[in-house]
Amino acid sequence: MTTNQAIQYKDSMKVPEPTLRRLPWYLSNVKLLKQRGERYVSSTQISKEINIDASQIAKDLSYVNISGRTRVGYEVDTLIAVLEDFLGFTDMHKAFLFGVGSLGGALLRDSGLKHFGLEIVAAFDVTPELVGTTLNGIPIFHSSEFEQKMREYDVNIGVLTVPIEIAQCITDTMIAGGIKAVWNFTPFRIRVPENIVVQNTSLYAHLAVMFNRLNFNEIE
């Protein structure tokens, strides 16, 4: 880790998780404004676009090493560069994917992940029809080859899209093989050692929230 990376890591540890979740929204919005020809953008402009209070946006951006000009705002190109660097999108992080089902296959086809710093370099499954093939140029290996491939690839992130009944088993295998962070797409709350980073992204959990809010609104 370089000195700059260490400083950036130390600073990012101070940022509340809700802020980290909102910063990519700001980045995407500012990129759209750039496409429209805007050279400067204010918190108020961003607020109108994504319906987040301008004061909250200003507070979130205060965690990032950038300052705006009074009555002008932030320089668009600089804000994009600073946000991408702060969020780690400028560094390419390689990952293995486990479970090439419908969701896993969709992620392999999503070339847009590279724009956010994540490159899935290989996938693992046990389905005979899949093993030995490629999807979107990404090789699919048998799960038993994981440890060997860990020695061949520079990977520390695992994307988990396996059936729920084997989620913990595959997680344990990943961690034993050297994976340091798990992006978990299953609805199972995997158990990991304290030094392992986990990001849970359960589509079903988000569906439950959406359905609940929809039903509540219909009752009103």
**Paired sense of beta strands 134-135 and 138-142, if any:** antiparallel
Give the C-alpha distances (Å, rounded to integers) separating 161 from 89, 187, 205: 22, 10, 15
Query: Which positions ≥6 away from 192 have C-beta within 8 Å?
Result: 171, 175, 182, 198
**Residue pair 120/95 in contact by the 8 Å Cβ criterion:** yes
- Quick one: which H or E segment has residue 120? strand 118-125
195 residue type, one letter: N
Q: Rounded to whole angstroms, what are the CA distances from 86 to 35, 111, 139, 144?
A: 22, 22, 31, 37
| 32 assigned ligand-binding residue | no
Q: Provide the residue type at 88 as one letter.
A: G
Q: Is 101 annotated as a binding residue?
A: yes
DSSP sequence for 190-212 = ----TTSEEEE--HHHHHHHHHH
Rounded to the nearest 5 percent, the helix, strand and coil shares of the chain are 50, 20, 30
Residue 23 is labelled as binding a ligand: no
Instruction: Quote the Cα angle for 204-207-208, to 5°.
Output: 90
Annotated binding-site residue? 42: no
> Which segments are annotated as binding site for NAD(+)?
99-104
> Which segments are annotated as binding site?
99-104
